[in-house]
Structures are given as C-alpha cells and as structure tokens.
Amino acid sequence: MFSLSNLGAPLPAWPGPRRFRSALGRAIGAIPGWIAVFDAQYSETSKSINRVVGRSSPATITTGLTFANGKPAIEVSPGSNLGIPLNLAAYVDEVVDRTNFTFFAVVQRTAALAQPAILWRPFEDATAGQKGFAPTINTANNFAVYNRSAGATTLLLEGAIVSLNVPTLLLMSYSAERGLTIRQNAVQRGNLPAETAPTIPANIVQMGNMLQGNTAGNIRYGLVGLLKGDLTRTSQAARLAQLESGLLSMYSA
C-alpha cells in the first residue's frame, strides 16, 4: 500500500544572514593542523587576526591595501621590523612541530630590496650551533631559506626571483621524509633531503615573529599560514594541491 504525504507550501526565502563557504575555504578547510592563519581580508584597524584562534596580534600593520591585481593586502608598518609575534601564548595555542611543518605566504614585492625581507624568523637562539630556518626574500629579490643562529646567517636554499608587483605564493616545509623544501607558485625550487631538523623551538616563546619584513617595508601580504605537517610529503600530495591551487586561483598568482 502506498501513501502520499502532504508537504504543504514551500517555505519562503530566508531574508536573514546566510553562511557560505568561500572557494578558498572549500579548497583548504579540510586540511588539518593549522597553527596560524593571517588573512588580509580579515584584519582589524592596524591589527591582524590569527583566524585559527580568533585573536588579534599586537603588531602594527597597514590595512586596506591591495595587490596590483586588486586583491586585498596588508603591510607590516615600515620601521617596526617586528612583524606578527607567534612567540606569545596569547596569539597562538600550540607549538609548531619542528620536525614536521609547512609555512606559506602570498606576497607581492613592491620595490627592489636593499635589505632582506624575513617572512618568518623562528627557531633562533643565541647559542652557537643552534639551527633555524628563516624563509626570506633576499637582496637579489629571490626566495631563499637561511639558517640563522647566534648572529650567523648561512644560505641553505635559494629559489627564483619574486617578481615585482605580482602576487607570488611562497612555501617552505620540513619533515624527516623530505628534508627542507621550498616552492614558488606550485613549483619546487629547492630541496635538501639530508637537512636535519631545526634545533628549537621547544615552546611558544621560541616561535619567533612572522612577516618581520625589513625596516623599509616593500612587501605586501595576502594570506599567510603555518600548519603542522609537511605538505610536500607523498602522502600529502592531494592536500598540497588543494592549498596551492586554491591560493593561486584566489590571487591569480
């Protein structure tokens, strides 16, 4: 025996707020292990918000800027040379695993660099022999990673030029499986498979500053993130593709 249910008239269109997942959210929302995400589209006046924990950093930034293609951008105020601190428990909830992590940033260089622009300065200690990976745009305007320790700076990897006034996706990762890797716009530019892990951090205090830049400015940032896990590992290929294709599509980099 079959029966029919009277469903009644359809509900009217809801006039209130709706929640939609953005294209980027669909692309990277399923990737686990986020520690920090700073996004030019989600910034307070002169402050940037870590979207993972919903708290703003004390760093002074310039908001309301754009890339050359009109996409939203921020800039760490020239002269501050401090960037966004990750070394305070008030702004992050956990420590990055120094043996397995990925850092990325969508950036635009607005002038030739007379000083290196440091994108993240973690894992640094005053003790000689400590190891720290600092992703940087150097004075040749190339993406590079330096070991910074006890005042000494050693080039580990150098990629291609970061083009003037063009959004560029830069990525640095590390794991025991892959070693140290750098990528630009979804293309691997360098790998040190035998590179050993950074010496520190053991706690949040040692996680340093992100988007430190330089005293002259000249670098604008779109979306910047740090997460647990090396996305260049073979097992993470699908997630790496999600991240890179989502960001490249969003910023037309």
- Tokens 């966004």 found at: 84
Q: HSE on the CB side for 198, CA within 13 Å?
A: 28
Question: Given pLDDT bands bounded at 50, 70 and 90, which one contains residue 14?
Answer: low
pLDDT score at 56: 76
Q: 3-class DSSP state for residue 156?
A: strand
Does 22 map to a domain?
no
What is the distance between the alpha carbons of residues 177 and 156, in angstroms, rounded to a whole number?
18
pLDDT score at 19: 52
Q: Are 107 and 219 in contact (CB under 8 A)?
A: yes
Q: Are 171 and 182 in contact (CB under 8 A)?
A: yes
What is the distance between the alpha carbons of residues 144 and 118, in angstroms, rounded to a whole number?
10
pLDDT score at 61: 79
Does 2 map to a domain?
no
- Angle in degrees, CA 86, 90, 92, rounded to 5: 45
Does 16 map to a domain?
no
Q: HSE on the CB side for 215, CA within 13 Å?
A: 3
What is the distance between the alpha carbons of residues 200 and 96, in angstroms, rounded to a whole number?
10
Domain range holding 170? 30-251
Q: Does the bond joining 201 to the residue before it have cis omega, within 30 degrees of 0?
A: yes
Does 65 map to a domain?
yes
Does 133 map to a domain?
yes
Residue 214's domain is classified under what CATH number? 2.60.120.200
Average pLDDT of the chain is 81
Q: Percent helix, strand, coil in the chain (nearest 5)?
A: 10, 40, 50
Does 12 map to a domain?
no
pLDDT score at 1: 42
**What would the pLDDT profile of 78-113 be if each residue is shown by its tens digit?**
555 567 777 666 677 777 888 899 999 999 999 998
Does 171 map to a domain?
yes
- How many domains does one find in the chain? 1
For residue 141, pLDDT beyond 90: yes
Does 4 map to a domain?
no
For residue 4, pLDDT beyond 50: no
The H or E element that residue 199 is part of is none
**What would the pLDDT profile of 26-72 be if each residue is shown by its tens digit?**
667 788 899 888 888 887 777 778 887 777 776 677 888 899 999 99
Name which of 98, 107, 102 is nearest 226 in CA terms: 102
